[in-house]
Chain A
Amino acid sequence: MTATDPRLAAREALKLAAERGDAVALAAALRALLQAGPKPGDYAFASARLLALDDQAAKGAGLRPLRVFCARSVTVEPLLPQLVCAGAAAGLVLRVEVGGYGSFADELTNPAGALARANPELVLLIGDAEDLAGDLRPACAGGSGEEIAAAAEATGRALAGLIAGLRRHSKARLVVQGLLQPDRPALGDVADANLARGEGWAIAEVNAALARACREAGDAVLFDVDRVASRCGRARFRDERMFRSNRVAVSAECFEPYTRALVRAIRPLYFPARKVLVTDLDNTLWGGIVGEDGPDRIATAAEFPGNCYQEYQRLLRELTRRGILLAIASKNNPPDVEEAFARRERDILLRLEDFAAVQIGWHPKSEMLRTIAKQLSLGLDSFLFVDDNPVECAEVQLALPEVLTVNIPAAEPWRIAGLVGAALEVFDQLSITDDDRGRVAEYRAQKQRAELEAGAGSREEFLGSLGIVCTALSALDAPLSRTAQLLGKTNQFNLTTRRHSAGDVERMARLPGSQAWAVRVRDRFGDAGVVGVVLCTAQASDCVIDSFLLSCRVIGREIEAALLWLVGRHAIAAGQRRLIGEYLPTKKNPPCAEFYASHGFTVVDAARTPLGTSAGTVYEYDLQSGPPPLPPWIRFEESTP
């Protein structure tokens, strides 16, 4: 009997799936192939079959097709098969058209050029410092701080000009590859490190200018290629032979980490970040088993091996600072765990209160995760789960494939922080807002509200006692990055799930008679921050609600009714006579399916509205007798428009 090579098995599965046109099986086979350690030919084989799928089939397999234009100064073609495979592993089908070597500046800035004609959804700018910043190195070689600063400034300005030029004619999302640090700086290692300004400084300055230009352009991200190169080793990252002869700027052995990192930069433009890290306790958060070893003998201390666990605890504590929620799923007796956190308070860098949800007991882990998801009102697809036990991990993977599971080795605690750190790319987001930073405190307040509700007589009494205040802000000043973030990641209470970009919101807000609101919510327990967005356009005498969404952590307080009241009032002031609402069903948004019907709207034929047609259900609300009512327990403030 011959053992089956998993690589060949995955190839065969991929081939069969492609012949049958089965996109779901194809995507699964591709994942298996990537795990089995593919050869270069396998990438070409897989990418050709993936790209042969039509858009409809790709969508059916949960893959999002994207028209991509790659403006470049170097040879990217040999990398494309791996880029396509890495993209598919992240849920994207990247259909890449490549520009000319010397024409990237024209392509980016010319509104009638090749890029504009291709009408891409995503633009990549991939260049080498030799082509993009040719004056920089010669300027650095003399070691004059003034000359270096002037060259860095001029280069940064020229490249920022390309980005701004693209934005003037295209709303495509953009990924700009930054400049690589030289392996051997012009002034030598010692001078470059010690002078106030050297080549290293200049490259960092230009990259900072690129990042700034991306922030200003919106829907744009800097791809820090130097980070990948330093991880791979700069000398290994470039194959001088292939670069000088064929302008291939990345060595073939680094195609895989390079394309994966490029996709990592693309991903936050299209997919929401995960939100919750659920950790096991025994042999994960600390060493040993608390129920057997006792709270005094579990390993968590400044000395080895306890410091390996402290390193992991430190990582988790860092995550809470930017709003990632922590939770515990552990098979233990609750008093043992409570005792451990109390007696080892000085040695464990987290307190039990730092965890937004805690499941300690003897249920299967998948069940614990389901309970946590319910408690936090978050989808399981926003969860990352860390456990040392391969059986628990397999149980979760099988029962809840949408949860990302990280199996850490119990015998090698020094690897925990590194392995979890490598998986943290699923928490990547383009901006960290005040709302993110306040999220952990907000969930703590949520727990207190739940306790109050349990003791209150009626729902109205409870809601009245919260002292809810909503503040209406312009969606452009929420800030706009928060508005875009909510549009990009809200799944459950989202009536239409239109993933508008920041640029789309700006354009919509400028239309006459339109409304673009963001709402901030606070109560006596805390400030939930900006948690809702409504976008409406004026069409004839109707106010058409294009987007209506609310973060799930404020659901159940009728904030959504208050938002309808706000929109209705402004529509009346603008002389509009009807509110038109639309519900477009997705896998995630059944919680808001009955929203319009339960707030006084009636179903209407789409043909009798400015929408004309709809893939969902269309509703109308007659404004003649006033806007939908404001719940009596909500006070509404409007900031100056």
Chain B
Amino acid sequence: MSSSVPARLSSVLADVFGAAPEAITLETAVGKLEGWDSFGHLQAVLALESEFGVQFDPAKIPELTSVAKLKAYLEGKGVAWE
């Protein structure tokens, strides 16, 4: 498991939160980026579902509050980074 943010993940989050891809690190979390509020979070989840062809468990969605957690969750869904 790599310790940086995979480009496919950071580019989706950067688009949705209106940030530069470099600004997305594993530590980036809800409330730390201007666009990452509760609606931004939902929008990010929907975009990630479409990008990676997975479905998030709605009960888990509110808990995935950082890039590291999102990355780990996607890996748990079988997403492999190139």
List residues of chain A with CB under 8 Å of any chain B CB: 39-42, 44-45, 48, 75, 77-78, 81, 241-242, 244-246, 248, 252-253
Query: What sequence of 0s and 1s flags, for each residue 57-82 of chain B, a beta carbon within 8 Å of any chain A beta carbon?
Result: 01101000000000000000000000
Identify A40's interface contact among B51, B58, B61, CB under 8 A.
Answer: B51
Nearest CB on B from A46, distance (A): 9
Nearest CB on A from B18, distance (A): 5
Identify B46's interface contact among A42, A48, A78, A244, CB under 8 A.
Answer: A78
Question: Complex formed: what's the CA distance from A48 to B17 in Å?
Answer: 10
The answer to whether B18 and A241 touch across the interface, beta carbons within 8 angstroms, is no
Identify B58's interface contact among A42, A75, A242, CB under 8 A.
Answer: A242
A-B residue pairs in contact (CB < 8 Å), sample of 10: A39-B12, A40-B43, A44-B43, A48-B18, A78-B42, A241-B55, A245-B58, A245-B59, A252-B46, A252-B50
Identify A241's interface contact among B16, B39, B47, B58, CB under 8 A.
Answer: B58
Q: Which residues of B contact A45 (CB under 8 A)?
A: 15
Question: Complex formed: what's the CA distance from A40 to B61 in Å?
Answer: 18
Q: Which residues of A contact B12 (CB under 8 A)?
A: 39-41
Q: What would 17 more interface pairs be, CB under 8 Å, given A45-B15, A78-B43, A245-B61? A: A39-B50, A39-B51, A40-B12, A40-B43, A40-B47, A40-B50, A41-B12, A41-B16, A44-B15, A77-B39, A77-B43, A245-B58, A246-B58, A246-B61, A252-B46, A252-B50, A253-B50
B49 in the interface, Cβ–Cβ < 8 Å?
yes
The answer to whether A44 and B61 touch across the interface, beta carbons within 8 angstroms, is no
Question: Complex formed: what's the CA distance from A248 to B16 in Å?
Answer: 17
Query: What sequence of 0s and 1s flags, for each residue 23-51 of chain B, a beta carbon within 8 Å of any chain A beta carbon?
Result: 00000000000000001001100110111
List residues of chain B with CB under 8 Å of any chain A CB: 11-12, 14-16, 18, 39, 42-43, 46-47, 49-51, 55, 58-59, 61
Nearest CB on B from A232, distance (A): 16
Identify A39's interface contact among B39, B42, B47, B55, CB under 8 A.
Answer: B47
Q: Which residues of B contact A242 (CB under 8 A)?
A: 46, 58
The answer to whether A44 and B50 touch across the interface, beta carbons within 8 angstroms, is no
Q: Which residues of B contact A44 (CB under 8 A)?
A: 15-16, 18, 43, 47
Question: Complex formed: what's the CA distance from A244 to B47 in Å?
Answer: 19
Q: Which residues of B contact A40 (CB under 8 A)?
A: 12, 15-16, 43, 46-47, 50-51
The answer to whether B51 and A41 touch across the interface, beta carbons within 8 angstroms, is yes
Question: Complex formed: what's the CA distance from A547 to B55 in Å?
Answer: 56
Q: Which residues of A contact B39 (CB under 8 A)?
A: 75, 77-78
The answer to whether A41 and B11 touch across the interface, beta carbons within 8 angstroms, is yes
Q: Which residues of B contact A42 (CB under 8 A)?
A: 15
Nearest CB on A from B50, distance (A): 5
Question: Complex formed: what's the CA distance from A109 to B12 in Å?
Answer: 40
**Chain A residue, CB-CB nearest to B49:** A252
The answer to whether B58 and A41 touch across the interface, beta carbons within 8 angstroms, is no
Question: Complex formed: what's the CA distance from A242 to B47 in Å?
Answer: 13
Question: Complex formed: what's the CA distance from A39 to B47 in Å?
Answer: 8
The answer to whether B46 and A41 touch across the interface, beta carbons within 8 angstroms, is no
Q: Which residues of A contact B11 (CB under 8 A)?
A: 41
**Chain A residue, CB-CB nearest to B17:** A44
The answer to whether B15 and A75 touch across the interface, beta carbons within 8 angstroms, is no
The answer to whether A246 and B15 touch across the interface, beta carbons within 8 angstroms, is no
Q: Which residues of B contact A48 (CB under 8 A)?
A: 18
Nearest CB on B from A260, distance (A): 17
Q: Which residues of B contact A81 (CB under 8 A)?
A: 43
Nearest CB on B from A461, distance (A): 69
The answer to whether A41 and B15 touch across the interface, beta carbons within 8 angstroms, is yes
Nearest CB on B from A256, distance (A): 11
Query: 8 closest Cβ contacts across the A-B interface?
Result: A41-B15, A245-B58, A40-B47, A77-B39, A45-B15, A78-B43, A41-B12, A252-B46
